[in-house]
Amino acid sequence: MRSSWQGRDIISIRDFSREEIEMVLQAAGRAHPDPDALRGQVMASLFFEPSTRTQLSFASAMERLGGKVIGFSSGKTTSQAKGETLQDTIRMAEGYADLIVIRHPLEGSARLAADTASVPVINAGDGTHQHPTQTLLDLYAIKQFQGHLDNLKIGLVGDLKYGRTVHSLATALTRFHGIELRLISPASLPMPPAVLRELGGLVDYREQEALDLSGLDVVYVTRIQKERFPDVEEYEKVKGAYVIDRAACRALGPEAIILHPLPRVGEIAREVDSLPQAKYFQQAQGGIPVRMALLQLLLKGELA
Ligand code: CP
What confidence tens digit (pLDDT) does each residue in 42-97 have?
999 999 999 999 999 999 999 999 999 999 999 999 999 999 999 999 999 999 99
Taking the centre of ligand 1 as the mean of its atom positions, its distance from the CA of residue 297, in whole angstroms, is 22
Q: What is the residue with the minimal CA distance to atom 5 of ligand 1?
A: 51
Q: What is the residue with the minimal CA distance to atom 4 of ligand 1?
A: 53
Q: What is the mean pLDDT of the chain?
A: 96
2 pLDDT exceeds 60?
A: no
User: How many helices, marked H, and strands, marked E, lie in the chain?
Assistant: 11, 9
Going through 28-173 in order, the beta strands assigned E by DSSP cover: 42-47, 68-72, 99-104, 121-126, 153-157
pLDDT at 3: 65
Taking the centre of ligand 1 as the mean of its atom positions, its distance from the CA of residue 282, in whole angstroms, is 14
| Averaged pLDDT, 9-34 | 92
pLDDT digits (tens, 9 = 90+) for 96-114: 999 999 999 999 999 999 9
Cβ 121 vs Cβ 89: under 8 Å: no
Confidence of residue 174 (pLDDT cuts 50, 70, 90): very high
1 pLDDT exceeds 50?
A: no
pTM: predicted TM-score of the whole model, two decimal places: 0.96
Closest to 27 (Cα-Cα) out of 261, 300, 299, 296: 296
Query: Could you confirm whether domain 13-130+287-300 is CATH 3.40.50.1970?
Result: no
CA dihedral sign of residues 142, 69, 81, 89:
negative
Please count the other Cβ atoms lying within 10 Å of the Cβ belonging to residue 172.
21
Report the topology of domain 132-284.
Rossmann fold (3.40.50)
pLDDT digits (tens, 9 = 90+) for 151-167: 999 999 999 999 999 99
Region of 191 (left: φ > 0; alpha: ψ -120 to 50; beta: rest) is beta
The CA–CA distances, whole Å, from 234 to 10, 190, 225, 268 equal 33, 14, 11, 21
Confidence of residue 266 (pLDDT cuts 50, 70, 90): very high
Domain extents for the chain?
13-130+287-300, 132-284
Among 47, 262, 283, which is best to mutate for testing ligand 1, by the most ligand atoms less than 8 A from CB? 262
**pLDDT > 70 fraction of the chain, expressed in percent and rounded:** 99
Q: State the amino acid at position 225 in one-letter form.
A: Q
